[in-house]
Homo-oligomer: A and B are copies of this chain.
Amino acid sequence: MKLYKLIPVLFCFSLFSQNTDSITLKKIYNYYLTKSKCYSNLEYLATKIGGRLSGSPQAEQAVIWAKKAMYEAGADTVILQPCMVTHWVRGKKEKCNLLSTKLKITKPLNCVALGNCVGTGAKGINANVIEVSSFEDLEDLGEKNIKGKIVFYNVFFNQTHIRTGTAYGESVKYRSKGASYAAKFGAVGSIVRSMTSVIDDEPHTGNMNYDTSISKVKIPTLAISYLAADLLSESLKKDNQLKVYIETHCQTLPDAPSFNVVGQITGSEKPNEFIIAGGHLDSWDNGQGAHDDGTGIVQSIEVLSVYKLLGVKPKHSIRAVAFMNEENGLAGGEAYAKFAKENNEKHIAALETDAGGFTPRGFGVDTAFGLYNLVSKWKTLFSPYFVERIEKGGGGADLIALKKLDVPCIGFEPDTQRYFDIHHTAADTFDKVNKRELELGSAAIGSLLFLLDKYK
């Protein structure tokens, strides 16, 4: 056949496929917007189980629940992948009290200890405070100005970024490494302004690590709310001799046994080739882990229901993965990759949904193995659903280990505006999740996996 004849045929074929696919996507969306279980699943996970920090009884309940939910969604196999997880416990409620004799202030500041930090114990720490806005400030001030004090990282979110995650990315280092930097100069504790987009009184927790390459000394550290940080900073301007008393009762216990939960529909043609969608099952303990990452879990589970709905078997094995220990260890992501490697599982694509259950905007897709080019072709299929942005990049914390095995990764990207209002706070609760927004996210992810299975 001559090329000029082939081209129109291919073109027609392509139009025909797009049309068939658009009918299938409509079917998937209709299902998710009317019959999907993701919202009721989330209600159970967030309100009946609640916060589920790695190693906690709630995390173990979540494992049992996820297994059941995956079978109900249509998994033919559910695997519990063992992993040893960080077992950090918060203990008694933290205290952070501002004390200024000069200003006649004795005020408790809303606070939350940072994950993995050491506690002060019952005796607490009472010390002067030195405010900084960067690590460079510490260098400039030097040990003589810092020793024996509590370092207060007063770093604001840059609100001019359109993606709130960019602001988070810029300031999160003060939460994760701040204690070690402060300890390097002899500080006895560190406090960080909460990483937040809103002006309110909620303190935001999150992970920290003691970086022994910076300092071998481990000092207590916590986050205070935006308004508490304002008060502390204003008070310091008027009384640089004020003191802050912090008391935390955190402990790191020996690593605990836990599991990833992996629900699978075995592929009809290529059972040892995998396409996965995952979120993390653990969450911080202070809220319900609704947006972070209950929504990602229920969206991943709902991927399995697509094939029952369409009455077809996928060609590749499709997996919903509930990773354990994303928040303070990443043991689950590593265990999954190790398991995949040991079992010679070929992963075609891995999607992570861990940015909240908000209205979908697009996907970040790895360029490796032509994945970005392939997904880009489906732009017109997703456009009627307002999923507009197919961008280069992709993946998330739980996929780091898989990425090292050259698995091409995808990040689900919902609207980011409200995420850091409640991220890692007591306000990350079920009522903050909008049913339709969650379902549209599920539909976008379910549709993408359907297309990946069909065209890979």
Question: Could you tell me which A residues sit within 8 Å of B by CB distance?
Answer: 29-30, 33-34, 159-160, 162, 164, 197-198, 359, 361, 384-386, 388-389, 415, 417-418, 421, 434-437, 440
Instruction: Tell me whether A29 and B417 are in contact (CB under 8 A).
Output: no
Number of copies of chain A assembled together: 2
A20 to chain B minimum Cβ distance, whole angstroms, is 19
- Complex Cα distance, B436 from A164, in Å, reads 10
Which one of B33, B162, B198, B359 lies within 8 Å of A435 (CB-CB)? B198
- Complex Cα distance, B359 from A418, in Å, reads 10
User: Please, which residue of chain B has its CB at the minimum distance from the CB of A26?
Assistant: B160
A27 to chain B minimum Cβ distance, whole angstroms, is 10
- Chain B residues with Cβ below 8 Å from A160 are 29-30, 33-34
Most chain B Cβ neighbours within 10 Å, of A160, A436, A440: A436
- Chain B residues with Cβ below 8 Å from A417 are 359, 434, 436-437, 440
Given contacts A162-B384, A359-B417, 9 further A-B contacts (CB under 8 A): A30-B160, A159-B436, A162-B385, A162-B440, A164-B436, A197-B436, A359-B359, A417-B434, A417-B440
- Complex Cα distance, B421 from A110, in Å, reads 32
- Chain B residues with Cβ below 8 Å from A421 are 434
Instruction: Tell me whether B434 and A29 are in contact (CB under 8 A).
Output: no
- Chain B residues with Cβ below 8 Å from A30 are 160
A32 to chain B minimum Cβ distance, whole angstroms, is 9
User: Please, which residue of chain B has its CB at the minimum distance from the CB of A440?
Assistant: B417
Which one of B197, B415, B440 lies within 8 Å of A359 (CB-CB)? B415
Can you name 27 A-B pairs with beta carbons within 8 Å?
A29-B160, A29-B162, A33-B159, A33-B160, A34-B160, A162-B384, A162-B385, A162-B386, A162-B440, A197-B435, A197-B436, A198-B435, A359-B359, A359-B415, A359-B417, A386-B389, A386-B415, A388-B389, A415-B415, A417-B434, A417-B436, A417-B437, A417-B440, A418-B434, A418-B436, A418-B437, A421-B434
User: Please, which residue of chain B has its CB at the minimum distance from the CB of A34?
Assistant: B159
- Complex Cα distance, B81 from A89, in Å, reads 64
A247 to chain B minimum Cβ distance, whole angstroms, is 33
A446 to chain B minimum Cβ distance, whole angstroms, is 15
User: Please, which residue of chain B has its CB at the minimum distance from the CB of A439?
Assistant: B159
- Complex Cα distance, B197 from A234, in Å, reads 45
- Complex Cα distance, B436 from A385, in Å, reads 23
User: Please, which residue of chain B has its CB at the minimum distance from the CB of A421?
Assistant: B434
- Complex Cα distance, B261 from A358, in Å, reads 36
A94 to chain B minimum Cβ distance, whole angstroms, is 27
A99 to chain B minimum Cβ distance, whole angstroms, is 32
User: Please, which residue of chain B has its CB at the minimum distance from the CB of A199?
Assistant: B435
- Chain B residues with Cβ below 8 Å from A384 are 162
